[in-house]
């Protein structure tokens, strides 16, 4: 079947590009649609530009860019899991405590017991999964609201973290373990001003991105789907290439690619595919959009809920490992307030409070906005008290904007 | 002062695409009990919502004259201030508050300093409870009393507002016989105290018992008003259904094959009140190419039957057997039911059928994503193509399949739900009120789709309270009342009168 078979259903103006007269209109439609979709991206650009000006360019110095990733890595890892939980209509308040608990356990494994670093990491992730099984059981199969279960979890796992640590810090992790938090991949081909390995990886990433975009576009037009105008498409690719390229240049001139960034990139790739292209991901959106309708469509909502929290447990564990590795210390205060930053990231990134809406990419950008705010305000020497207040306002306005947008478009 | 407490003159109310009321006039004499009857969707509730200010002045045309004065209600508080109180079918009580608190909700009895005077509250509540004949202490919580007593609390609440005109929307629909009798007697008792009542009801024996006059509404028009002496069941039924059945339904030549689905001794209990039998020993079957109707009034157990069969989405202590092509199958979960080729289109598509914030494409694929998946990945281009095919074949009017379902009209939303289930490739489709809230043109399209499904050898079960619809499209019709199948009629033998009689058949007392 081709796209010629839909003649009776009169398309709204601007949906099919007619020659010449409508070309400008179609252009504008696409531009506006894209701006709407990428509003969060634009917000990030605005925040970056603002703080670049305010800090006289310190924000964009190579060292600072590298720090931005490393300092916010664990929040971004949590944001990936959190946005999925939020899309399904739940919340997880326990991730900070779980991160602390798993960090403490990993200290016992890697330092106290002296297990090999890789075994310690696997065991720690396993503990995260078990935590998820525990919480998922109560939420999915007993039917206790996630807010309550994870509020309890927040207390339980903070307590267990203290118990495991026995009122002491555990420190001095093996170097391989520490790399998770503050390692860099660099100088594999010798020392240069700009690390060729970093640039090479960036080049491959850009190439893969372009190939993927072009393939999607070709497949879509083959199926008669509406695609954006060629000029706009190319322009977008150029912009993306420029952004990734200059980012890579910054990293290459400093220490190279942080291990945390690689972990993050892999997570974003995998979870992006899960959310958009797998049945599990589709079911998460369906459940968040209308749980009753999902159930009556044969979706096993309990199973989906359960695995969502298992997944969140694993990601919280990973965040705990990265944080512990970065500090080279498993301490009782670890993970304090992580849950709030992760939840903020998801909501700033466009997730709906009522569920059903949100993206992995949005949550990552939301997390980056928080990161840039933290970092920029710290450079400016703004006190922690005002940093908190500003972040609170940003969250409030982001959600208010989302609610306003929905009301205007007559959503339900 | 004239003898009429209320006159509604040429009321017309339109919703987008649907004329719900057309030039309806209604006069209610002071001190009467006035019954309004009509099929579901005839416009009774809409008329009462206009009267009580739920639909404010300006959203309808025509005049309301109450106690010789033209009134323009902006909301329900305005009408209550005049002494018009409506008690909806769904009771508006807060389960965790006491009887007294509910009675004086938003009308609290205050003492000095503006604080709530609890002694006065409970004392006044006790007086009101005595008036309605409810022997409960005012401090009892609503959730601890039965629905019959809750109905009395609603009436006590109305009395506390110095009600002059009491409107009851199907007051006995959820009540047992004893409670119904008590309620009807109370209405007569209040009449003795000078309170005028309007009672909306399907139950003809009830109407005959309490009402002084009856108005029948059909298709948004007042057909006639008769005085007590003129009322006969036959006349009411004729008024309720008497319409032109020609050309509102597409031609359907049945080509009926083997039996596909048979349900035996299906029984389900209320999910909370497990002693209450909601679906009582239902036996029915459907053959290939056959359109089978289930005629029943709201609350008769028809939706409960369908939902308990479809993956046990309703009820408790469910028992009975299901056979497909003669072999017994289990339908304990929705996915199990879908795997056995059963599809259920709900009566409430917005709450149970659609993800309104997502697009047409993803709604259509929701129940059959497995079909679009290769090596673990959903092929979204294929999904787009298939959604577009359904958009064309079902004539879904939308700019593209990427349009959000929440923005479509009721008829188009229903076509999306139907597409979803047709794409799941079922052998049997259970359609629950498939044309509710849909305009006439779209109804015809839905009927055409149903015919096509039957012609393709599928078994179709249509649940409806609109008799002309069932008579227009079905090959065979079951009637259901109080959870039991009360009759089975081949289409040649079925008539509206016969069906209504069996739909309102009550258990032998």
Per-residue pLDDT of A343-392, as tens digits, reads 999 999 989 888 999 999 999 999 999 999 999 999 999 998 999 899 89
Are B192 and B337 found together in one domain?
A: no
Contact A6 B392 (CB under 8 A): yes
Contact B313 A224 (CB under 8 A): no
- Chain B residues near residue A5 by CB distance under 8 angstroms: 388-389, 392
State residue A350's pLDDT score: 87
State residue A6's pLDDT score: 36
Q: Across chain B, what does the average pLDDT equal?
A: 88
Are B322 and B383 found together in one domain?
A: no
- B340 and A CB contact within 8 Å: no
The strand pairing partners of A330, in sequence order, are: A170
pLDDT tens column, B294-348: 998 877 889 999 999 998 888 889 999 999 999 999 999 999 999 999 999 998 8
- B333 and A CB contact within 8 Å: yes
Contact A11 B399 (CB under 8 A): yes
Backbone phi and psi for residue A125, each to the nearest 5 degrees, phi listed first: -65, -35
Domain end call among B425, B449, B484: B425
How far B377 CA sits from the closest chain A CA (Å)? 5
Residue B321 domain-assigned? yes
Contact B377 A298 (CB under 8 A): no
Each as own residue / partner, the long-range contacts of residues B336-342 (CB below 8 Å, 24 or more positions apart, any chain) are B336/B311, B337/A298, B337/B309, B337/B310, B337/B311, B338/A298, B338/B367, B338/B424, B338/B426, B341/B425, B341/B426, B341/B427, B341/B428, B342/B261, B342/B309, B342/B310, B342/B426, B342/B427, B342/B428, B342/B430
Is A336 in contact with A33 (CB distance < 8 Å)? no
Are B301 and B322 found together in one domain?
A: yes
pLDDT tens column, B72-110: 999 888 999 999 999 987 788 888 899 999 999 888 888
DSSP class of residue A60 equals: G
Contact B366 A293 (CB under 8 A): yes
What distance in Å separates the CA atoms of residue A314 and residue A318, rounded to the nearest whole number?
A: 6
Contact A278 B380 (CB under 8 A): no
Contact A356 B358 (CB under 8 A): yes
Out of A10, A220, A292, whose CB is closest to B381? A220
CATH of A42-48+57-166+173-184+290-404, one of 1.10.3470, 2.60.40, 1.10.760, 1.10.10: 1.10.3470
- Best A1, A287, A296 residue to mutate vs chain B (most B CBs within 10 Å): A296
Give the confidence band of A340 by pLDDT, cuts at 50, 70, 90.
Answer: very high
Out of B344, B392, B399, whose CB is closest to A15? B399
Out of A222, A282, A356, whose CB is closest to B369? A282
Residue of A nearest to B370 (CA): A279
- Chain A residues near residue B355 by CB distance under 8 angstroms: 285-286, 289-290, 293-294, 356
Which residue has better confidence, B39 or B32? B32
Give the confidence band of B18 by pLDDT, cuts at 50, 70, 90.
Answer: low
Residue B415 domain-assigned? yes
Residue in the block written with tokens 């060292």: A63
State residue A14's pLDDT score: 37
Cα dist. B84→B53, B67, B188, B347 in Å?
Answer: 10, 11, 18, 31
- B352 and A CB contact within 8 Å: yes
Instruction: Please give the span between the terminal C-alpha atoms of chain A, in angstroms, as a whole number.
Output: 34
- B389 and A CB contact within 8 Å: yes
Is A330 in contact with A127 (CB distance < 8 Å)? no
Please give the structure tokens belonging to residue A112. 């106290």
Work out the average pLDDT over B389-403. 89
Which residue has better confidence, A339 or B39? A339
Work out the average pLDDT over A191-195. 78
- B346 and A CB contact within 8 Å: yes
As for how many domains chain B has, the answer is 3
Residue B249 domain-assigned? no
State residue A22's pLDDT score: 60
What distance in Å separates the CA atoms of residue A408 and residue B45, rounded to the nearest whole number?
A: 30
Share of residues in chain B with pLDDT > 70 (%): 95
Are B395 and B443 found together in one domain?
A: no
Q: Which of A5-14, A17-26, B387-396 has the highest mean pLDDT?
A: B387-396
Is A74 in contact with A96 (CB distance < 8 Å)? no
How far B484 CA sits from the closest chain A CA (Å)? 25
- B133 and A CB contact within 8 Å: no
Relative to beta strand B277-287, strand B213-218 is unpaired
Give the confidence band of A32 by pLDDT, cuts at 50, 70, 90.
Answer: low
Out of B313, B373, B404, whose CB is closest to A296? B313
- Best B306, B313, B334 residue to mutate vs chain A (most A CBs within 10 Å): B334
State residue B178's pLDDT score: 79
Angle at B21 between CA B17 and CA B24, to 5 degrees: 155
Cα dist. A291→A297, A410, B52, B347 in Å?
Answer: 10, 21, 34, 16
Are B88 and B206 found together in one domain?
A: yes
State residue A141's pLDDT score: 96
Residues 6+ apart with CB under 8 A from A220: A226, A227, B381, B384
Cα dist. B252→A142, A234, B245, B310, B328 in Å?
Answer: 49, 55, 14, 27, 31
Q: Return the closest-CA partner of residue A349 out of A115, A79, A63, A18.
A: A79
pLDDT at A410 over 50: no
Q: What is the DSSP string of A275-302?
A: HHHSHHHHHHHHHHH-HHHHHHTT--HH
State residue A377's pLDDT score: 93
Q: Return the closest-CA partner of residue B81 out of B162, B197, B147, B13.
A: B162
How far B378 CA sits from the closest chain A CA (Å)? 5
Q: Return the closest-CA partner of residue A73 out of A305, A338, A286, A397.
A: A338
Which residue range is the domain that position B207 belongs to? 4-241
Are B392 and B436 found together in one domain?
A: no
Are B62 and B90 found together in one domain?
A: yes
Name the B residues in 419-438 with CB < 8 Å from any A CB.
Answer: 420
Are B236 and B370 found together in one domain?
A: no
Are B449 and B361 found together in one domain?
A: no
Residue of B nearest to A222 (CA): B381
- B390 and A CB contact within 8 Å: no
pLDDT at B167 over 50: yes
Instruction: Quote the longest CA-to-CA distance of chain A.
Output: 74
Is B355 in contact with B413 (CB distance < 8 Å)? no
Say how many CB pairs under 8 Å bridge A and B: 121
List of E strands, B387-458: 428-432
What distance in Å separates the CA atoms of residue B408 and residue B103, rounded to the nearest whole number?
A: 40
Domain residue extents for chain A = 42-48+57-166+173-184+290-404
Please give the structure tokens belonging to residue B215. 């108005």
Residue B35 sits in a domain whose CATH number is 3.40.50.300
pLDDT tens column, B414-427: 999 999 999 999 99
Is A320 in contact with A172 (CB distance < 8 Å)? no
Please give the structure tokens belonging to residue A412. 């339900």
Give the confidence band of A11 by pLDDT, cuts at 50, 70, 90.
Answer: very low
Residue in the block written with tokens 């039991």: B484
- B415 and A CB contact within 8 Å: no
Share of residues in chain A with pLDDT > 90 (%): 57
Chain A contacts to B (CB-CB under 8 A): 1, 3, 5-6, 8-12, 15, 219-220, 222-226, 273, 276-279, 282-283, 285-286, 289-290, 292-300, 352, 356-357, 410-412
Burial B169-206 (b: 16+ CB within 10 A, else e): bbbbbbbeeebbebbbebbeebbeeebbbbbbbbbbeb
Domain end call among B425, B441, B464: B425
Give the confidence band of A193 by pLDDT, cuts at 50, 70, 90.
Answer: confident
Share of residues in chain A with pLDDT > 70 (%): 88
Work out the average pLDDT over B134-150. 88
Contact B373 A222 (CB under 8 A): no
Domain end call among B369, B393, B425: B425
Work out the average pLDDT over B352-372. 93
ipTM of this predicted structure:
0.83
How far A352 CA sits from the closest chain B CA (Å)? 11
Contact B335 A290 (CB under 8 A): no
Q: Is A412 helix (H, G, I), strand (E, B) or coil?
A: coil
């Amino acid at each position: 079947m081709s796209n010629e078979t839909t003649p009776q259903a009169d398309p709204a103006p601007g949906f099919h590009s007619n020659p010449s007269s409508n070309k400008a209109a179609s252009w504008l439609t696409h531009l506006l649609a894209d701006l709407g979709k990428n509003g969060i991206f634009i917000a990030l650009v605005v925040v970056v530009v603002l703080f670049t000006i305010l800090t006289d360019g310190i924000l964009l110095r190579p060292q600072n860019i590298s720090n931005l990733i490393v300092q916010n890595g664990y929040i971004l890892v949590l944001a990936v899991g959190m946005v999925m939980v939020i899309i399904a209509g739940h919340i997880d308040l326990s991730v900070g405590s779980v991160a602390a608990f798993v960090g403490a356990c990993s200290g016992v494994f890697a330092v106290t017991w002296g297990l090999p670093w890789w075994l310690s990491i696997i065991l720690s992730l396993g503990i995260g999964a078990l935590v998820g099984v525990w919480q998922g059981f109560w939420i999915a199969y007993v039917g206790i609201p996630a807010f309550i279960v994870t509020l309890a979890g927040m207390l339980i796992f903070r307590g267990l973290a203290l118990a495991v640590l026995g009122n002491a810090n555990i420190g001095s992790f093996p170097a391989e373990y520490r790399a998770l938090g503050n390692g860099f991949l660099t100088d594999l081909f010798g020392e240069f001003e700009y690390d060729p390995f970093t640039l090479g990886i960036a080049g491959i990433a850009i190439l893969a991105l372009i190939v993927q975009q072009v393939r999607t576009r070709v497949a879509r037009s083959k199926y008669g789907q509406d695609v954006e105008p060629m000029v706009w498409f190319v322009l977008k690719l150029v912009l993306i290439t420029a952004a990734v390229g200059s980012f890579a240049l910054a990293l290459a001139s400093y220490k190279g690619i942080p291990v945390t960034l690689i972990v993050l990139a892999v997570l974003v790739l995998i979870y992006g595919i899960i959310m958009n292209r797998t049945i599990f991901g589709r079911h998460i959106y369906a459940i968040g959009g209308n749980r009753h309708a999902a159930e009556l469509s044969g979706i096993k909502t309990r199973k989906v809920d359960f695995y969502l929290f298992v997944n969140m447990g694993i990601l919280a564990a990973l965040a705990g490992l990265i944080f512990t590795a970065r500090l080279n210390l498993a301490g009782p205060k670890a993970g304090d307030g992580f849950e709030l930053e992760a939840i903020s990231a998801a909501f700033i990134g466009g997730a709906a409070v009522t569920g059903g809406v949100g993206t992995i990419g949005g949550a990552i950008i939301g997390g980056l906005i928080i990161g840039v705010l933290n970092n920029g305000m710290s450079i400016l020497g703004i006190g922690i008290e005002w940093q908190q207040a500003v972040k609170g306002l940003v969250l409030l306005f982001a959600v208010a904007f989302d609610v306003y947008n929905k009301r205007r478009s007559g959503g339900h | 002062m004239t003898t009429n407490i209320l006159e509604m003159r040429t009321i017309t109310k339109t919703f987008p695409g649907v004329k719900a009321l057309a030039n309806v006039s209604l006069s209610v004499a002071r001190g009467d009990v006035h019954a309004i009857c009509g099929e579901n969707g005839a416009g009774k509730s809409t008329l009462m919502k206009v009267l009580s200010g739920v639909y404010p002045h300006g959203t309808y045309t025509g005049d309301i004259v109450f106690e010789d004065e033209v009134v323009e209600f902006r909301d329900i508080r305005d009408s209550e201030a005049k002494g018009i109180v409506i008690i909806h079918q769904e009771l508006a009580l807060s389960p965790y508050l006491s009887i007294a608190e509910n009675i004086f909700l938003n009308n609290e009895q205050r003492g000095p300093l503006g604080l709530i005077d609890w002694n006065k509250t409970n004392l006044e509540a006790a007086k009101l409870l005595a008036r309605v004949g409810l022997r409960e202490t005012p401090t009892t919580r609503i959730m601890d009393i039965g629905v019959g007593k809750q109905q009395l609390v609603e009436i006590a609440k109305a009395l506390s507002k110095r009600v002059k005109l009491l409107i009851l929307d199907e007051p006995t629909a959820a009540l047992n016989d004893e409670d119904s009798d008590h309620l009807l007697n109370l209405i007569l008792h209040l009449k003795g105290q000078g309170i005028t009542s309007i009672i909306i009801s399907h139950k003809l024996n009830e109407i005959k018992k309490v009402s002084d006059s009856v108005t029948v509404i059909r298709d948004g028009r007042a057909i006639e008003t008769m005085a007590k002496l003129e009322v006969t069941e036959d006349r009411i039924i004729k008024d309720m259904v008497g319409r032109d059945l020609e050309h509102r339904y597409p031609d359907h030549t049945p080509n009926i094959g083997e039996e596909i689905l048979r349900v035996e001794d299906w029984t389900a209990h209320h999910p909370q009140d497990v002693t209450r039998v909601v679906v009582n020993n239902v036996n029915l079957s459907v053959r290939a190419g056959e359109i089978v109707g289930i005629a029943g009034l709201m609350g008769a157990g028809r939706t409960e039957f369908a939902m308990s069969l479809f993956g046990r989405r309703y009820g408790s202590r469910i028992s009975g057997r299901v056979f497909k092509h003669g072999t017994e199958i289990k339908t304990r979960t929705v996915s199990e039911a879908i795997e056995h080729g059963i599809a259920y289109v709900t009566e409430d598509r917005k709450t149970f059928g659609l993800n309104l914030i997502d697009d047409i494409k993803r709604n259509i694929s929701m129940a059959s994503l497995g079909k679009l998946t290769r090596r673990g990945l959903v092929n979204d281009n294929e999904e787009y193509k298939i959604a577009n095919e359904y958009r064309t074949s079902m004539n879904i009017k939308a700019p593209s399949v990427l349009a959000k379902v929440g923005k479509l009209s009721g008829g188009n939303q229903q076509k999306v739900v139907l597409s979803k289930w047709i794409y799941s490739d079922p052998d049997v489709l259970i359609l629950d009120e498939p044309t509710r809230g849909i305009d006439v043109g779209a109804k015809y399209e839905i009927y055409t789709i149903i015919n096509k499904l039957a012609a393709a050898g599928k078994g179709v079960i249509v649940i409806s309270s609109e008799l002309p619809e069932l008579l227009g499209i079905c090959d065979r019709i079951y009637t259901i009342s109080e959870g039991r199948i009360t009759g089975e009629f081949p289409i040649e033998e079925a008539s509206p009168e016969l069906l209504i009689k069996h739909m309102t058949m009550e258990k032998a007392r």
